[in-house]
Amino acid sequence: MNSTKRIQVRLNGKDRDVTSGHTVQSLLEAIELNPLAVVVELNREILDRNRYSDFDIREGDTIEVVHFVGGG
């Protein structure tokens, strides 16, 4: 990853600067979320969890991360 360039994305409704070069997988890891415990929507498309590393994060992307919550 190029650690000097920053891009702006919208993450869960909030603008956020992130390091360029992330995939969905690496972004989840960077924000300390377990990829197996979330569903990700990238630009209004629900992604296949097994392919998170195939999707690059680009300037202006809109990312929604939904957490699974257990309960009883």
pLDDT (tens digit, 9 = 90+) per residue, 18-71? 999 999 999 999 999 999 999 999 999 999 999 999 999 999 999 999 987 776
> Which CATH fold would you assign to the domain 6-67?
Ubiquitin-like (UB roll) (3.10.20)
The model's pTM is 0.86
Sequence letter at residue 52: Y
Q: Phi, psi (5° rounding) for residue 64?
A: -115, 130
pLDDT at 67: 86
Domain definitions of the chain by residue range? 6-67
